[in-house]
Structure 1
Amino acid sequence: MGQTKGLDDIQKRLDQGIQDVMTGEKFQEWLRFLSSFHAYSFNNTILIYQQNPQATLVKGFQEWKKHGRFVTKGAKAIKVLAPLIRKKKQEEEKREGKGKEENVLYGFRYVSVFDVSSTDGKELPAPPVQVLEGDGENEKDLLQAWIQKIEVPVRLENTGDANGYYHLLENYIALHKERSTLQQLKTLIHEYAHHLLHAKGAPFEQESNSIREAQAEAVAYVVLHHFGYDTGDYSFGYIAGWSQDLHIMKQIGSDIVVCSHQIIEKLRVHSSKQGATA
């Protein structure tokens, strides 16, 4: 009974948090926050952000012990959702006494995690952070590395007033050859997000242009912030017009999380060798 009530409470908190973040001024703050939590589910990023916007790294009590750190007395836990998984065989195969078991999600439970700021103990290794700006050689090398990492051809050309574009029919990205390297990096990720989210057969292929642009810009913001770029403030005012339907907002937010994580993991291999991870 207590667990069920706790899940009801956390679901209400989750729905309110989504509404607050996705339809208000907190959206940009959440995107900045997401750059540290891109591997988490959309629901849990909202729950963690809502309970502790300053959080940077969370783990359970026992997980912290494994890392030589201990939760301080009186520390406030952050409640998140953990999946409940069980093994299940297909009915026909079960009757025949064969077949592989598969993992089946049958619900969620809430668990307590703690931010690193609520722990003491062994120092954790801090990854090197490098803030890149301007048109330095490091940035130019990074641009070439990122171009090689993604599976979409990239062209440097005169794109007129636009910083670049993604060609849906011919499947390539064009970057304005006269823009700064920083702008080219940001545009590259923005247009690559269009490829992942809006190409033929992609999840949001049929979405309106305003939503597509907001999604691509949100993903670019998260990815670049993760790698140490300060890309400035973006205009997210029109996000409130996406939808008042929580289901739609959850789907949009989930795809921003999934797409950002996919790109960060794809680029991380090279960047970590260059000491540019965050």
Structure 2
Amino acid sequence: MDLTGMIQNPVEDQNSEQKLSKEEYAALKKQEREETWMQIDGQAQSVFKDGASLQKFLDFMTGQYNMPKVPNLLLLYSQNPEVKLVKSFDEWKHDRRSLRTGVHGYTYIIDTKYEKDGEMRSGYAISKGYDITQTKGRPLEERPQRDIHTLLEAVLKNQNIRLQIADNLPDKIQAQYIPNQRTIYIRNGMSEITTFHAINRELACAALDQHDGNYARNRVNAQAFCATYILGKRYGVDVSGFDLEKVAGIQEHGQKDPQELRLFLNDVRTAAYGIRGHIERNLREPEQQFVTEDTFTVGESEKKSPDKGKKSKNEPER
């Protein structure tokens, strides 16, 4: 007997979560959050396993400027360390790009707002994002390469902290941030690459100064060093002299509490992305201040003075 066409299995319900009770749905979402944070914490510890592992993660951070949360960086890295630029479906749509057929999104965390007891509160939800390689459409603007001299000018221009050349710095001190003076002292005459890294390291230290009297250089040195590496990698400046093994050792090769490791990475992100934003603003082409324009010049009205003894049309009768 041919049963073809007689047996009809039920179609898989894509919205099965909607059939759960309120309690079941809450339990499901709680489990999802717990599993996500376990994944994040595990990756945080893995990042600091050794210098090579940390370097690979910092390379990953270099290209993820649009992802401001460290948990998301760790979460995406654990799923695919090769992703380049992850955005939501709506964000890609806004960029005039669409998803390729059959792609599966990456899990990441999004901020949410909700009302409870008459008050608006902040929360988060687990959602899906898509890498640029999973999309097609309008190409993104390419970033031009800049020479080291141009990069240095962009770093130094319009800084909100005082920069001063110092010829009497102690040996082996390339540059240093002095918190009570809010000044970075810089040795003159170094190579451009060394100068670029040294200034960025001290700017990172300054960025991590909370100005509460508790600044201590030994508490921000490692974070500033990692931030400097990211900036060098970002702009194609030689980073072969960076040894990240000591940083991994300071973090006990990932054996510290995962939350402490995430806080360390958040300091790195804060410093690196802040300095990068300053550089990017200064690298933008300035608009011309004065442009001669004949075609759309607004002409002046030609008014003739009324003849003496005659009343102007607009002059009221007495």
The answer, yes or no, to whether TM exceeds 0.5 is yes
Secondary structure at the counterpart of residue 283 of structure 2: helix
2:236 to 220, 223, 228: 228
Of residues 210, 221, 232, the one that matches 1:213 is: 221
RMSD (Å) for aligned C-alpha atoms: 2.5
User: Partners of 1:162 and 1:117 in 2: how far apart?
Assistant: 44
Could you say which residue in structure 2 is the equivalent of 1:63?
91
Q: Deviations over 1:205-234 (max 9, x none)?
A: 247x2x522111111112232233232251
User: What do the CA deviations read for 1:58-91 (whole angstroms, capped 9, x no partner)?
Assistant: 1122332333322222323210011221257xx9
Highest CA radius of gyration, 1 or 2? 2
Which structure has greater helix proportion?
A: 1
Given that residues 103 and 134 in structure 2 are in contact (C-alpha distance below 8 angstroms), is that contact kept between their aligned partners in structure 1?
Answer: yes
Counterpart-to-counterpart distance in 2, 1:164 and 1:58:
36
C-alpha displacement of 1:126 = 1.9
Q: Is 1:125 equivalent to 2:152 in the alignment?
A: no
Kindly indicate whether the alpha-carbon contact (under 8 Å) linking 2:201 and 2:225 is maintained by their aligned counterparts in 1: yes
User: What residue ranges of structure 2 are gaps of 5+ in the alignment?
Assistant: 1-24, 287-318
Counterpart secondary structure, 2:284: helix
Between 21-30 and 77-86, report the one with greater CA deviation: 21-30
| Distance across 1 between alignment mates of 2:160 and 2:262 | 28
State the shift of 1:187 in Å: 0.7
Hey, what does 1:136 align to over in structure 2?
A: none
- 1:234 is aligned with what amino acid? F
Q: Do structure 1's residue 248 and structure 2's residue 260 form an aligned pair?
A: yes
Write the mapping of 1:259-270 to structure 2, written as runs, cut at 5 A: 259-270=271-282
User: In 2, are the aligned partners of 1:70 and 1:121 still within 8 Å (CA)?
Assistant: yes
Counting matched residue pairs gives 252
Partner of 1:169, secondary structure, is coil
Distance in 2 between the 1:178 and 1:127 partners?
A: 30
- Identical-pair percentage: 19
Matched, 1:7 2:33: yes
Query: 1:205–1:265: structure 2 CA closer, same or farther, 3 Å change rule?
Result: same
**Residue 299 of structure 2 aligns with which residue?**
none
Structure 1 CA distance for aligned equivalents of residues 78 and 106 of structure 2: 9
Listed as ranges, the gaps of 5+ residues in structure 1 are 95-100, 134-138
Q: What SS is found at the alignment partner of 1:76?
A: coil
Q: What TM-score results when the alignment is normalised by the length of structure 1?
A: 0.81
TM-score (norm 2): 0.71
Q: Deviations over 1:156-215 (max 9, x none)?
A: 23333222212233221122212111211111110111112146427x7247x2x52211
Bigger relative contact order, structure 1 or 2 (CA pairs below 8 A, ≥6 apart): 1
Whether the aligned pair in 2 keeps the contact of 1:164 and 1:187 (CA below 8 Å) is: yes
